[in-house]
Structure 1
Amino acid sequence: MTLRKEHSVRRLGLIAGEHRQDAGYRVDRPRGRNDYALIYTKSGRGMVENDRGQVLTEAGDVVLLSPGSRHVYGTYPAARSWHLFWAHFQMPADSAELVRWPNMDQGPGYVQFPVGDRSQMLAAMKILHQSAMRASDLDDHWQIMLAENALQRVLLMCIKASDKDQVLPLDDRVREVKQYVLEHLEADLSVARLGEVVGLSGSRLAHLFRDQVDESIQVYVERIRLRRAKHLLEYTALPIMTIAKEVGFQSAFYFSKRFKKAFSQSPRRYRKDYACMLIAEKPAT
């Protein structure tokens, strides 16, 4: 069964809706659209692709597609369903910073909300949906302004979650730590060692990093390591033990445990499902 609800605010170019799609759902837009598309996954799994790359989206993820670029999206081949909230919108030039996400040169814009923040993001998407509905039904100036504010709130939440560097300037030592982590994933990345790198005590660095990045060093390091592992599983045939060591895990068992906690699949299953998805999308000859 497929659930579809959508409402538009024509003067804003804002269209918002909610879909619950079954397996096999797929939309292919070879010429893209003339507006931005924002997709929030409530449950299930989806796949979103543009000319630069593709992302797997799961509960708590937000994806942003730019105007004018080919894109494809749909229920992930190995998933039973995909429940999403979405919005299409135009972005005035004076608010363009709201859609300048840091990773859009590598594929669709992508934000993964931590478990503790997902309820707030879901609530914000529901408010956007409801505001668009009321503004469309009533065609009232104040309701249209409320819908516009709801959209801006959602985008601000995404910017904040995507990379705090884009909102507030980072302390040079925090920036150096982040760069060091990216370049030395296989090395000792303990708080004490990273403190040595930038000339701070471990406790001082830990406090400074959390204050500026809004997560602990340990959580940040693991997130970057697992993101790199995910990429290696997708694009290389390296053994899982090799990947584990390359991103800084000495135990393949512990690596698999942390990967499954983060992505709800073992590394082996993730690689298999990703390969199946690529085969399913390959054009028939």
Structure 2
Amino acid sequence: MDKHSYNKPAAYGEYVNGMIIAGHYHETDTYLTKRPNGRSDWLITYTLEGEGRFITPGREDYCSKGDLTLLRHGTPHQYGTRSGRIWNFVWAHFSSRIVETNLLPDMPLFIHAVDNDSAHQRIYQAFRRVISDSIERSAYWSELCENNLREILLLIAQRESKPIDARIEETQHLLSTNMAAVFRIDELARKVGLSPSRLSHLYKETIGVSIVESLNQMRIRQAALMLEHTNRNASEVALDVGFQNYNHFANQFRKHYGVSPRAYQSGRTRKND
């Protein structure tokens, strides 16, 4: 069978009532798919390398590395590799039961550029899980695929709702995923490709607070949740979220919540009894 005939049931199994099919293609410019009547499902692609071309009524669009495309169901279209290029991409067909598509712009073809490493890795890994689960067909495979597609759509909707500089987005990701670590501005700046002074200025201009204050806010919010919902004491929680000095932690906590960590935990405990 021609590997490009993935819209036929035999390619990945019967496609009915919300079933998901997905794959990973690496194609030369001879690759072309035409669907003059569209399809009853949605198509999502994510370009890893090279360029693809989409033709929809009245438009011709190109996608390159880091571009996620969402093709609306019922849209007449053709797509393939751009002339003279290769197109390395992952894709999935899915049904309208995944309603998170409503969070994205209402257009026949929507293209979103993913411009930072953490978002790229998150989207790519989600696609990898969709592909493997759709092929393995283990228990709950369809639900697992849908959850990963929803993660991709929600992440793109989040990025669309409040676009920020990719380097600031990456900085926030580094802070949140390594919250308890000791951070140096120069190390963060090196990782996102900015000078320390430029990063500090751009971060405060974009987020409204400094990097240090933003990190403190993340730590204090997490500490409040841990004090409320776990049995760990305030000193343990301080270390968990990255404060080496308890007095500094208590001062920062009081600044945000108006009470000490221990008073906060005691009050929440009584409230939940």
Provide the C-alpha distance between the structure 2 equivalents of 1:29 and 1:66, rounded to a whole number of angstroms.
13
Provide the C-alpha distance between the structure 2 equivalents of 1:43 and 1:31, rounded to a whole number of angstroms.
28
Which among 69, 75, 89 is matched to residue 84 of structure 1? 89
| Sequence identity percentage | 22
1:160 maps to 158
Matched-pair contact (CA < 8 Å) for 2:46–2:67:
yes
Provide the C-alpha distance between the structure 1 equivalents of 2:20 and 2:65, rounded to a whole number of angstroms.
23
Q: Provide, for residues 79-123 of structure 1, a one-character-per-residue CA deviation record: whole Å limited to 9, x for no partner.
A: 1x111111111122xx53434422x43x51111101322122111
Matched-pair contact (CA < 8 Å) for 2:50–2:88:
yes
Provide the C-alpha distance between the structure 1 equivalents of 2:66 and 2:205, rounded to a whole number of angstroms.
29
Provide the C-alpha distance between the structure 2 equivalents of 1:23 and 1:53, rounded to a whole number of angstroms.
20
Secondary structure of 1:55's aligned partner: strand
Number of equivalent positions:
166
Secondary structure of 2:159's aligned partner: helix
1:131 maps to 133
Matched-pair contact (CA < 8 Å) for 2:36–2:77:
yes
Which among 61, 67, 70 is matched to residue 64 of structure 1? 70
Provide the C-alpha distance between the structure 2 equivalents of 1:21 and 1:44, rounded to a whole number of angstroms.
9
Deviation at 1:59, TM superposition (A): 1.3
TM-score normalised according to structure 2 size: 0.53
Gaps of at least 5 residues in structure 2 are 164-201, 212-273
Deviation at 1:19, TM superposition (A): 1.2
TM-score normalised according to structure 1 size: 0.51
Deviation at 1:124, TM superposition (A): 1.2
Deviation at 1:11, TM superposition (A): 4.8
1:120 maps to 122
Secondary structure of 1:151's aligned partner: helix
Q: Please, what is the CA RMSD of the aligned residues?
A: 3.0
Q: 1:210 to 1:100 in 2, by over 3 A?
A: farther
Q: 1:210 to 1:157 in 2, by over 3 A?
A: farther
Q: Provide, for residues 131-184 of structure 1, a one-character-per-residue CA deviation record: whole Å limited to 9, x for no partner.
A: 11122xx4x3x223212212211222222233338xxxxxxxxxxxxxxxxxxx
2:101 maps to 98
Provide the C-alpha distance between the structure 2 equivalents of 1:115 and 1:162, rounded to a whole number of angstroms.
14
Provide the C-alpha distance between the structure 1 equivalents of 2:203 and 2:128, rounded to a whole number of angstroms.
40
Q: Provide, for residues 2-49 of structure 1, a one-character-per-residue CA deviation record: whole Å limited to 9, x for no partner.
A: 976864564533111111111221112111101111111111111112
Which among 15, 26, 43 is matched to residue 37 of structure 1? 43
Q: Provide, for residues 225-267 of structure 1, a one-character-per-residue CA deviation record: whole Å limited to 9, x for no partner.
A: xxxxxxxxxxxxxxxxxxxxxxxxxxxxxxxxxxxxxxxxxxx
